Structure 1
Amino acid sequence: MSSLYNIFDISGSAMNAQSVRLNTTASNLSNANNVSSSVNETYRARHPVFSAELDRATSNMNNSAAVKVNVAGIVESDKPLLIEYSPNHPMADDKGYIYKPNVNVVEEMANMISASRSYETGIQIADSAKKMMSRTLRLGQGS
């Protein structure tokens, strides 16, 4: 029965990780069209980093502890910013350039769809575990 409880821990941590991914993607999309007058002030795309837990999972095969999904942090993309010559733009620097974020809207939409589906999978797993626990408890009732 404890392994079924671990499923809730694992699926809950996975849903939390996908929620972080959805939030960073939403942040990237909302800042995709921002313009600034310097490289240092320009928004950079952010992405969550999930730590690899495979080694820990295989070493815990005989242990009943759940191996959760871990969000190691959020990093900024190192892709180059978009620099555009627009001397009449109010945000242009003294050389006439404006700076746009390195956000790829198509890539972010794909990330959003993927994260949303992964989140839904976590819900389905938790629901299946709940149904299995309920059926297991009914076995003990003798009906």
Structure 2
Amino acid sequence: MSIFNGLQINASGLALERLKLDTTSTNIANVNTTRTPEGGPYRRKSVQFAENLRQVEEDNGNIMEANKRQSSGVRVTGIAQDQTEKLGYKPDDPDADQNGYVHLPNVNLADEMIDLIQSQRSYEANVASSQVNKQILSKALEISEN
């Protein structure tokens, strides 16, 4: 186990939260987009992620233990697109069908604002944890000098 594992875990968390902030901002920016280059309305996107595990071998005395897994942060597994349909009655809209219904983006502004605040708080927590890790490493170096 490296002394820098904590910083690596924090860095992966910071990268994840930044991607989540960017994705949520894109959702908010497209809350009224009824026509995209792909065709149809904008579809809400969300970041999918999982724990990043890696294989390690530990030397416990004379016995090497294999098949141990250790967390090394998080990793993005993809960006999912919500395919939920949302219709609105707007007969004057150029995107309306013959019955006057328009396919609207499935973005809920209130939910996006909650996601934005949650990602911001998680980012701040990772920054604070990163600073504590740096203080611990600095103190360890200071102790080792004496």
TM-score when normalising by structure 2 = 0.81
2:94 aligned partner, one-letter code: P
Q: For residues 97 and 15 of structure 1, what CA distance do their matches in structure 2 show?
A: 42
Deviation at 1:90, TM superposition (A): 2.9
Q: For residues 93 and 111 of structure 2, what CA distance do their matches in structure 1 show?
A: 27
Residue of structure 2 in register with 1:17 after alignment: 16
Residue of structure 1 in register with 2:82 after alignment: 77
Q: RMSD of the TM alignment (CA)?
A: 2.6
Deviation at 1:87, TM superposition (A): 1.4
Report % sequence identity: 29
Q: For residues 144 and 51 of structure 2, what CA distance do their matches in structure 1 show?
A: 39
Aligned to 1:51, the other structure's residue is in SS state strand
Aligned to 1:2, the other structure's residue is in SS state coil
Contact 1:21/1:115 (<8 A) preserved = yes
Q: Rate the CA distance shift 1:61–1:67 in 2: closer, same or farther, 3 A.
A: farther
Contact 1:84/1:97 (<8 A) preserved = yes
Residue of structure 2 in register with 1:124 after alignment: 128
Query: Structure 1, unaligned stretches of length 5 or more?
Result: none
Q: For residues 61 and 29 of structure 1, what CA distance do their matches in structure 2 show?
A: 45
Q: For residues 140 and 69 of structure 2, what CA distance do their matches in structure 1 show?
A: 19
Which structure has the highest strand share of the two? 2
Contact 1:44/1:101 (<8 A) preserved = yes
TM-score when normalising by structure 1 = 0.82
Contact 1:15/1:123 (<8 A) preserved = yes
Which 4+ runs in 1 deviate beyond 4 A? Answer: 59-66
Contact 1:42/1:100 (<8 A) preserved = yes
Which structure has the highest helix share of the two? 1
Q: For residues 57 and 131 of structure 2, what CA distance do their matches in structure 1 show?
A: 24
Aligned to 1:72, the other structure's residue is in SS state strand
Bigger RCO of structures 1 and 2 (CA < 8 A, at least 6 apart): 1
Equivalenced residues, count = 136
Aligned to 2:73, the other structure's residue is in SS state coil
